[in-house]
């Protein structure tokens, strides 16, 4: 069975249930996956720094590691 068929089957099962505990449990499971993604746990400032770094990388704005690290030694 492919992933889309699995999703449809699960969606049908969710729609057919009247059990609030079951729905709460399903919701918790689905939300728990988001907790594992570090992106959801970092600040907006950290996200902005990562975006800037990726933008610099894509533009070819690179700095030699030894040159970069000397300020921290």
DSSP letter for each residue of 15-71:
HH---HHHHHHHHHHHHHHHHT-GGGTS-HHHHHHHHHHHHHHHHT----HHHHHGG
Q: What is the pLDDT of residues 12-65, one digit of tens each?
A: 999 999 999 999 999 988 887 666 778 888 899 999 999 999 999 899 988 888
The confidence score (pLDDT) of residue 10 equals 92
The confidence score (pLDDT) of residue 34 equals 65
Predicted TM-score (pTM) of the model is 0.45
The confidence score (pLDDT) of residue 62 equals 87
């Amino acid at each position: 069975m492919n992933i889309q068929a699995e999703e449809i089957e699960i969606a049908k099962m969710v729609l057919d249930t009247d059990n609030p505990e079951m729905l709460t449990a399903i919701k918790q499971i689905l939300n728990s996956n988001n907790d594992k993604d570090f992106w959801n746990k970092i600040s907006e400032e950290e996200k902005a720094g990562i975006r800037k770094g990726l933008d610099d990388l894509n533009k070819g704005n690179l700095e030699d590691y030894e040159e970069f690290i000397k300020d921290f030694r």
